[in-house]
């Protein structure tokens, strides 16, 4: 009888000890789950601010999403977003699997049709193999400033110089201010583009001296930024030019 009671006590202790071991093991398993913040970054051809003429091709888009340990994330989707002037952010490309060579949008590229901004939006995610959860993040904005594309046709035929050109995108009756340098920049003439988006004005040296001019093409709303171009008229020997003037 004593043996029976002793066996029951030992069995009870074994059950109690086993339960305690099971309970104590639960917190240890919970500690395996990890939550990390993330940092997103975006560049276009290595830059975060680009100024370029209308129609310039931008590529590649270089995207990175790292956790707080400086390691590339292993789960979660990343959106490439674009915002046009006066518009909301819109997604133009998605990378759903960062494990395939990191965040990448392939050969995605675009020609600028106006001022625009880009950013990354990493949605966050969980790597089930490591129980690591990554927080969402946005990259700083990349800004593309678009200038007028100018087909410059300025020349000095027979020594008579003119500043001329054609604008893209096509625009009619658009303002082109011409200034001359007399100590400071002063008004020379105000031109308007014709139906073919072209403009032209005659220029010359002042008192036979090298003279600087510039044009300032007015912005096109919020789409195209005001664009400047500098010209210099030189007086040269008649052997170099029939009437002694060149334009650069």
Residue-wise pLDDT for 100-111, tens only, equals 778 988 878 889
Tell me, yes or no, whether 82 lies in a domain: yes
Tell me, yes or no, whether 139 lies in a domain: yes
Name the domain count of the chain. Answer: 2
What is residue 16's predicted lDDT score, i.e. its pLDDT?
Answer: 47
Instruction: Strand 149-152: give its sheet, edge to edge.
Output: 149-152, 161-168, 198-203
Tell me, yes or no, whether 229 lies in a domain: yes
Q: Both 154 and 223 in a single domain?
A: yes
Tell me, yes or no, whether 25 lies in a domain: no
Q: Both 127 and 206 in a single domain?
A: no
The whole-number average pLDDT for the span 86-93 is 95
- Is a pLDDT exceeding 70 seen at residue 13? no
- Is a pLDDT exceeding 80 seen at residue 49? yes
What is residue 182's predicted lDDT score, i.e. its pLDDT?
Answer: 94
Alpha helix (H) residue ranges in the chain:
2-30
Question: Domain boundary at 112, 146, 180, which?
Answer: 146
Q: Both 90 and 192 in a single domain?
A: no
HEC string of 116-174 equals EEEEEEECCEEECCCCEEECCEECCCEEEEEECEEEECCECHHHCEEEEEEEECCCCCC
User: The domain containing residue 72 runs over which residues?
Assistant: 34-146
Tell me, yes or no, whether 27 lies in a domain: no
Neighbours of 194 (CB within 10 A): 13
Please state which of the ranges 68-77, 193-202, 236-245 shows the lowest mean pLDDT: 236-245
Tokens 């008649």: give the residue: 238
Q: Both 42 and 129 in a single domain?
A: yes
Q: Both 130 and 182 in a single domain?
A: no
Task: Determine the 3-state secondary structure of 188 from DSSP.
Answer: strand
pLDDT category, 238, cuts 50, 70, 90? low
pLDDT category, 165, cuts 50, 70, 90? very high
- Is a pLDDT exceeding 80 seen at residue 221? yes
Please state which of the ranges 79-83, 185-189, 243-247 shows the lowest mean pLDDT: 243-247
Q: Both 112 and 181 in a single domain?
A: no
Tell me, yes or no, whether 226 lies in a domain: yes
Q: Both 156 and 55 in a single domain?
A: no
**Model's pTM, two decimal places?**
0.78
Question: Domain boundary at 104, 131, 146, which?
Answer: 146
Q: Average pLDDT, whole number, for the chain? A: 86
Q: Both 207 and 183 in a single domain?
A: yes
Q: Both 122 and 156 in a single domain?
A: no
Tell which wins on pLDDT, 49 or 237: 49
What is residue 155's predicted lDDT score, i.e. its pLDDT?
Answer: 93
Per this entry, what is the length of the chain? 248
């Amino acid at each position: 009888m004593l043996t029976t009671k002793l066996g029951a006590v030992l069995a009870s202790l074994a059950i109690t000890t086993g339960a305690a071991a099971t309970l104590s093991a639960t917190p240890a398993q919970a500690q395996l789950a990890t939550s990390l913040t993330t940092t997103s970054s975006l560049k276009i051809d290595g830059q975060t601010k680009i100024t370029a003429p209308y129609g310039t091709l931008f590529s590649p888009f270089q995207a990175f999403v790292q956790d707080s340990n400086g390691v590339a994330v292993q789960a979660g989707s990343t959106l490439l977003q674009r915002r046009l002037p006066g518009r909301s952010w819109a997604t133009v490309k998605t990378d759903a699997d960062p494990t395939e060579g990191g965040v990448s949008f392939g050969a995605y590229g675009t020609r600028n049709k106006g001022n625009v901004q880009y950013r990354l939006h990493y949605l966050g995610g969980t790597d089930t193999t490591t129980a690591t959860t990554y927080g969402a993040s946005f990259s700083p904005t990349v800004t593309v400033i678009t200038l007028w594309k100018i087909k410059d046709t300025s020349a000095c035929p027979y020594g008579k110089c003119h500043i001329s050109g054609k604008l893209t995108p096509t625009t009619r009756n658009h303002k082109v201010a011409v200034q001359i340098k007399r100590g400071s920049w002063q008004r020379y003439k105000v031109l308007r583009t014709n139906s073919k988006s072209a403009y032209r004005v005659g220029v010359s040296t002042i008192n036979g001296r090298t003279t600087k001019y510039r044009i300032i093409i007015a912005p096109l709303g919020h789409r195209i930024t005001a664009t400047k171009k500098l010209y210099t008229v030189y007086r040269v020997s008649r052997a170099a030019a029939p009437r002694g003037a060149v334009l650069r």
